[in-house]
Amino acid sequence: MPFVRRLLLASLVSEFSRRVQVDPKNMTDFLQVHPKNPDARVIKQAVEVLLNGGVIVYPTDSGYALGCHIGDKSALERIRRIRQLDSKHNFTLICADLSSLSLYARVHNSAYRILKAYTPAPYTFILKATPEVPRRLMHPKRKTIGLRVPDNAIAQAILAALGEPIMSTSLNLPGEEEQLFDAYEMRLKIGKQVDLIIDGGACGLEPTTMVDLVEGVPEVLRVGKGDPEPFL
């Protein structure tokens, strides 16, 4: 590249960074990954961050999510601060498959048939939690937990390498109506508050459809990306 072009490019990058106030020294790790064939090195790094008590941003089949290790109280509190959530907020366990989900929820026969038919998919199912779930993640009165199995290659690769669910919540920042969907914007807004951002491209803006299966009869609590018709 000619010297003048290199100089002009450097000037443009510098000016852009100044305007958006990007300080690389204070930014988190930011990794781009193929949405269908994720790099094993990126997946390994995400798992290491989770196991070391970190907070990650990663794509799912219904938008980007904040995630941490299921047993890490400190990381959970960091997510609460990012989202400004109170103690009553219901978190979700992201599971690799139905077998994994069944370890953390009491699944009766009718619920099992529904889960088998509608996972993986953009649904969150509310079920009674088992003792495997930390009490701080359960609904304080009902002792329930939200669980889901995402249809996303990156999320599934992380779950397979981790070998257990990810404690998760959608990436809705305080005062903003929509979820963050642009990875670079995430880096600007919360880059100093998380340990890793995985850019897996566009993955939608709609939340999951939430279905309560506690009593055996499906009750749609929220209509989102997943088709609610089978549960109505």
Domain boundaries, the chain: 24-231
Q: What CA–CA distance (Å, rounded) separates 193 from 56?
A: 10
Give, as one character, the DSSP assignment of residue 184.
H
Please report, for residues 7, 158, 223, the alpha-carbon distance to residue 39 in angstroms, rounded to integers and kept in the order given: 33, 11, 33
Fold observed for domain 24-231: DHBP synthase (3.90.870)
Cα separation, 42 vs 112, in Å, equals 33
What's the average model confidence in pLDDT over 146-157? 97
Asked whether the beta carbons of 47 and 158 are under 8 A apart, the reply is yes
Q: What is the mean pLDDT of residues 38-44?
A: 96
Q: Is residue 23 over pLDDT 60?
A: no
Structure tokens that stand for 191 in this block:
């880059």
Instruction: Please give the Cα distance from 176 to 189 (Å, whole number).
Output: 12
Average pLDDT over residues 102-115: 93
pLDDT at position 140: 82
Q: Say how far apart CA 163 and CA 166 lie, in whole Å.
A: 10
Confidence of residue 202 (pLDDT cuts 50, 70, 90): confident
Considering the chain, what percentage of its residues have pLDDT values greater than 90?
A: 69
Q: How many whole angstroms separate alpha carbon 29 and alpha carbon 65?
A: 16
pTM of the model: 0.86
Instruction: Please give the pLDDT value at position 9.
Output: 39
